[in-house]
């Protein structure tokens, strides 16, 4: 049996684990702080633990983040981190610096099973869910690489579960990782600074609202079921009317008073003026903001990005109707770190052997 990896545990689980061999809850708090606040992976350096415990722990447990395989940086400061998650699989996280904040975009699965038509990760198929250690380990490693600003604050102030995979399809591990992000003894991020992005797994949205409500983003991408069925196939299971109702339910407990609708603008596919008008009526009952993402091409993709004037016209229709809409500035494209380009290296267990790809994310302007 491999030793338990303590990066897999949130505070409650770590407390229970320590209790299993007669250690008090405050030991769990101490170790949690060492691991996540200070990025410590060596029990010997956890100097406020009793010496006997320090010496005993290596025989009982390990602290193992996913190994960092590569890190790349663009001129604008966007960074892509590639992590080894074993068996020839690798996943990516992307750091996006902006004025006043720094956002880390984290992956939750090796590959993705949802097969959205316009997404590089979906094209490469699904391998497996990431463990809690692999999810939180991306933040652990990125914090180590990025460090603190001159004021002593961590450079990473926001986290989005918006990298490879569908977080709500890896529900338990994503929620445990979220709890660590929020825990004052770990990363201490506010609920408003942590966002889950989903293609719309309706029952899991309800569970998230109860288990760990954080900011919510929905990958919408189409104003009607006929089009969304083709772009985001999970729509056939949870169509738009159900999705909008789930958004309203979520908002009852959400830390923000709106959900964010992400909308990838694909030339000639979903970027017509009538699409914008249909979006306005679709989302009338939901307090929301729109984040438009000009489509990011990737090797083998059949779509084209909407031209800037078409993007502008689409956004204008929304704005004139009083809908808040921003256009996400594409960042990290030169290192294939933009939205939908993240592909790591995945051995698809569901179909074929996937081609090697890469990818990452970006963030918004206004």
Q: By the criterion CB under 6 A, which residues form the site for ligand SAH?
A: 116, 118-119, 162, 166, 197-199, 219, 262, 264, 293, 295-296, 339-340
Nearer to ligand SAH by Cβ, of 49 and 132: the residue is 132
List 92, 262, 336, 363, catalytic entry: 92
User: Among 293, 266, 260, which Cα is nearest to 361's?
Assistant: 293
Cα–Cα distances (Å) from 91 to 258, 310, 346, 350, 360, in that order, read 30, 33, 8, 17, 10
Q: Say how far apart CA 122 and CA 314 lie, in whole Å.
A: 26
How large is the angle between the packed helices 25-32 and 11-19, nearest 10 degrees?
Answer: 130
Catalytic annotation present for 288: no
Q: Looking at 112, 119, 288, 339, which residue is catalytic?
A: 339
Which residues, in sequence order, are CB contacts of 39 under 8 Å at separation 6+? 140, 143, 144
Q: How far is the CB of 316 from ligand SAH (least distance, A)?
A: 21
* Cβ-closest position to ligand SAH: 340
Based on DSSP, count helices (H) and strands (E) in the chain, helices before strands.
11, 13
The least distance separating ligand SAH from the CB of residue 2, rounded to whole angstroms, comes to: 29
CB closer to ligand SAH out of 30 and 138: 138
Angstrom distance (rounded) from CA 190 to CA 142: 18
For residue 81, what are the β-bridge partners? 71, 93
Alpha-carbon distance of 162 to 159, in angstroms, equals 9
Residues in the chain: 366
Task: Give the C-alpha separation, 13 to 346, whole Å.
Answer: 30
Nearer to ligand SAH, 11 or 216 (CB): 216
* 32 vs 222 by CB, closer to ligand SAH: 222
339 is catalytic: yes
Write out the catalytic residue numbers: 92, 339
């Amino acid at each position: 049996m491999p030793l338990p990896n303590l990066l897999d545990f949130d505070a409650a689980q770590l407390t229970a684990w320590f209790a299993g061999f007669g250690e008090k809850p405050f030991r769990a708090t101490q170790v949690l702080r060492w691991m996540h606040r200070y990025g410590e992976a060596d029990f010997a350096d956890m100097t406020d633990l009793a010496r006997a415990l320090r010496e005993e722990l290596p025989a009982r447990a390990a602290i193992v983040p996913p190994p960092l395989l590569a890190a790349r940086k663009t001129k604008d400061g966007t960074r892509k981190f590639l992590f080894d998650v074993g068996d020839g699989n690798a996943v990516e996280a992307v750091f996006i610096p902006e004025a006043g904040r720094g956002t880390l975009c984290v992956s939750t699965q090796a590959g993705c099973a949802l097969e959205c038509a316009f997404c590089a990760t979906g094209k490469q198929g699904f391998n497996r869910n990431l463990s809690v250690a692999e999810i939180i380990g991306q933040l652990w490693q990125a914090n180590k690489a990025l460090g603190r600003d001159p004021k002593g604050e961590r450079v990473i102030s926001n986290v989005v579960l918006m990298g490879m995979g569908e977080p709500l399809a890896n529900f338990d591990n994503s929620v445990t990782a979220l709890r660590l992000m929020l825990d004052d003894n770990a990363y201490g991020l506010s609920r408003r600074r942590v966002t889950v992005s989903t293609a719309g797994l309706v029952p899991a949205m309800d569970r998230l609202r109860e288990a760990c409500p954080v900011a919510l983003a929905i990958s919408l991408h189409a104003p009607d079921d006929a089009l969304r069925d083709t772009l985001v196939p999970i729509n056939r299971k949870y169509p738009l009317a159900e999705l909008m109702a789930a958004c309203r339910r979520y908002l009852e407990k959400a830390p923000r008073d709106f959900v964010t609708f992400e909308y990838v603008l694909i030339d000639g596919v979903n970027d017509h003026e009538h699409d914008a008008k249909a979006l306005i009526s679709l989302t009338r009952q939901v307090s929301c903001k729109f984040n438009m993402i000009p489509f990011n091409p990737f090797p083998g993709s059949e779509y084209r990005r909407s031209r800037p004037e078409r993007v502008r016209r689409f956004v204008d229709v929304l704005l004139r109707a009083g809908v808040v809409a921003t256009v996400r500035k594409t960042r990290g494209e030169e290192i294939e770190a933009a939205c939908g380009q993240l592909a790591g290296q995945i051995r698809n267990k569901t179909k074929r052997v996937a081609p090697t790809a890469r990818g990452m994310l970006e963030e918004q302007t206004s």
